[in-house]
Amino acid sequence: MNQSLNDKKYAPIGVFDSGVGGLTVAREIMRQLSLERIVYFGDTARVPYGSKSKETILRYSRQIIHFLESKGVKAIVVACNTASAYALEELRPEMRIPIIGVVKPGAKVAAQVTRNGKIGVIGTEGTIASQIYTEMIQRHNPHAIVVGKACPLFVPLVEEGWLKDPITIEVAKRYLASFQETGIDTLILGCTHYPLLRSVVRDIMGEGVELVNPAYETAQGLKRLLEECGIANDGAQPEGAPMYQFYVSDAAEKFKSFANSILPCEIKEAQLIQIEE
Amino acid sequence: MNQSLNDKKYAPIGVFDSGVGGLTVAREIMRQLSLERIVYFGDTARVPYGSKSKETILRYSRQIIHFLESKGVKAIVVACNTASAYALEELRPEMRIPIIGVVKPGAKVAAQVTRNGKIGVIGTEGTIASQIYTEMIQRHNPHAIVVGKACPLFVPLVEEGWLKDPITIEVAKRYLASFQETGIDTLILGCTHYPLLRSVVRDIMGEGVELVNPAYETAQGLKRLLEECGIANDGAQPEGAPMYQFYVSDAAEKFKSFANSILPCEIKEAQLIQIEE
């Protein structure tokens, strides 16, 4: 192998999530940073993260980061809102490579696009309880009013495949009703599963409310980060290096079929590993 | 302490589940075996089990059984249908104390109460895919026809607290529609959360269909088992021994408040432990 191809810039990006949701982030990275290789880990044995405590999410995230580092990644994307909310700030000082989450890029854009300073956030119980979006949005716009709403049934509805279903619409109406009197003009889809419910949310909220998809903004943020660190891939690839690799802690076949239904490329294998060890 | 009070019969019963669902089983044990002490473990850090693979459930169950054995229990109740389906038969030969699950007692009663031999089962994806209820029912009634249906949204709906909600009724109608042409006269509530949806299921299925609650039957089975092994508590209690103890792997406060909403007694504490170690 050519010496220069051992450069850090040819190493893959590590991406992790509690399960399949982070694939919406991987998909954006594939679209926007098509030269970058990816090692994805989905913690399907311990999914979901949204209802679990900060301590538990921190422990799980540490295990996963060690695993991704062992695969030689050059940067890590926390493609899970709950892990970004609970673990990112605490983990960053422990790391030797850059790490970014999905919360900050989404919060930043929301703070920029709002016209009236009133922003809604939907997410898991963990993400909403952490108030992380409020904190991040107010870093950019201290006067912003942020209204959060946990939507715990959205993830199981997406995983049931009921994407444009009357029941899903009813559940969404119930959850989103809490924004009615708030006057928000911007709504963050603060969970990686939620972009798959985008059209349902769009129909209920109407054209007057801008929907922010943190997956898209995260890929943009990653692009900037790689360029700033001088580790963006310039197009060369180490011989025989796989473009995309997928690892899970459980139910590899089910993961593979979900992945193939939403990714722009066909994945051949999701490899099962024991993350607890 | 009196020597005789060190007898095995004064030891507690170990009960475990993936989370709060098994509390419906603990509740039946409290009601029917009021002299027995209980050590309950809820695996709230890794809940739910219903969508995970056999290998993973087996590994988790082993860790929990070791923990309960370390607490000196005299018998173990697997108060989780998925773990009963996937792990029980494989774990029994490894154990030195009696262990029973929720599947066999429920299956046995269903096989007895059906008049036309057509039995429905609702449960998690794991329980239904395992075909364990079919197998167990046919041991008692080889000609029984068993129709299974996975209802993955029922657990999150219960945990959302939407017990008699129009949305829950719609979801239940959708799931239970698959029994319409089958002519079943008996339906097993094959997940420990489902007794909390009993009245919704009753309204949709009508009076002609007998509902079987495995939690009730399991407590009955446990009573017989303790008597047969000569280890049923005769009413004496070791001094200072707590009647009921609760351990969880995450979110102890949330567990405690759910427990207090469904148990006949007030629990003061749910203790957090790390089950992976």
Query: Measured between CB atoms, which of A156, A157, A250 is closest to B53?
Result: A250
DSSP label of A232: -
The answer to whether the CB atoms of B156 and A160 lie below 8 A apart is no
Q: Give the pLDDT confidence of B24-53 residue by residue, as tens digits.
A: 999 999 999 999 999 999 999 999 999 899
Query: Measured between CB atoms, which of B153, B156, B250 is closest to A56?
Result: B250
- The fold of A104-214 is Rossmann fold (3.40.50)
Q: Give the pLDDT confidence of B67-81 residue by residue, as tens digits.
A: 999 999 999 999 999
Calpha distance A99→B80 (Å, rounded): 38
Q: Give the pLDDT confidence of B111-143 residue by residue, as tens digits.
A: 999 999 999 999 999 899 999 999 999 999 999
The CA distance from B256 to the nearest CA of chain A, in Å, is 14
- Answer yes or no: is pLDDT of A215 > 50: yes
- Are A14 and A68 in contact by the 8 Å Cβ rule? The answer is yes
- Answer yes or no: is pLDDT of B1 > 60: no
Question: Is the ipTM value over 0.90, yes or no?
Answer: no
Angle at alpha carbon of residue B58, lines to B75 and A15, rounded to 5°: 140
Calpha distance A124→A190 (Å, rounded): 8
Nearest CA in chain A to B251: A53
The answer to whether the CB atoms of B156 and A153 lie below 8 A apart is yes
- Answer yes or no: is pLDDT of A4 > 70: no
- Answer yes or no: is pLDDT of B250 > 60: yes
**Residue ranges of domains in chain B:** 3-101+216-272, 104-214
| All residues at 6 or more sequence positions from B253 whose CB lies less than 8 Å from its CB, including other chains | B270
The CA distance from A34 to the nearest CA of chain B, in Å, is 33
Residue B188 three-state SS: strand
The CA distance from A161 to the nearest CA of chain B, in Å, is 11
- Answer yes or no: is pLDDT of A1 > 70: no
Mean pLDDT of chain B: 94
Calpha distance A128→A134 (Å, rounded): 9
- Considering only CB atoms, which chain A residues are within 8 Å of B152? 156, 159-160
pLDDT band at B235 (very low <50, low <70, confident <90, very high): confident
Query: Measured between CB atoms, which of A45, A52, A156 is closest to B153?
Result: A156
DSSP label of A12: P
Average pLDDT, stretch A238-266?
93
Calpha distance A199→A202 (Å, rounded): 5
Q: At what angle do helices B166-176 and B198-205 cross, to 10 degrees?
A: 50
Query: Measured between CB atoms, which of A44, A167, A276 is closest to B170?
Result: A167
Average pLDDT, stretch A64-83?
97
Write down the pLDDT at residue B229. Answer: 94
The CA distance from A187 to the nearest CA of chain B, in Å, is 23
- Considering only CB atoms, which chain A residues are within 8 Å of B55? 250
- Answer yes or no: is pLDDT of A59 > 60: yes
pLDDT band at B236 (very low <50, low <70, confident <90, very high): confident
- Considering only CB atoms, which chain B residues are within 8 Å of A150? none
Average pLDDT, stretch B82-102?
95
The answer to whether the CB atoms of B157 and A153 lie below 8 A apart is yes
Q: Give the pLDDT confidence of B194-230 residue by residue, as tens digits.
A: 999 999 999 999 999 999 999 999 999 999 999 999 9
The answer to whether the CB atoms of A46 and B44 lie below 8 A apart is no
Interface of A with B (CB under 8 A): 44-47, 51-53, 55-56, 152-153, 156-157, 159-160, 166-167, 170-171, 174, 249-251, 276
Write down the pLDDT at residue B6. Answer: 67
* B3-101+216-272 to CATH, choices 3.30.479.10, 3.40.50.1860, 3.40.50.10490, 3.40.50.170: 3.40.50.1860
- Considering only CB atoms, which chain A residues are within 8 Å of B250? 52-53, 55-56
- Answer yes or no: is pLDDT of A5 > 80: no
Calpha distance A179→A197 (Å, rounded): 17
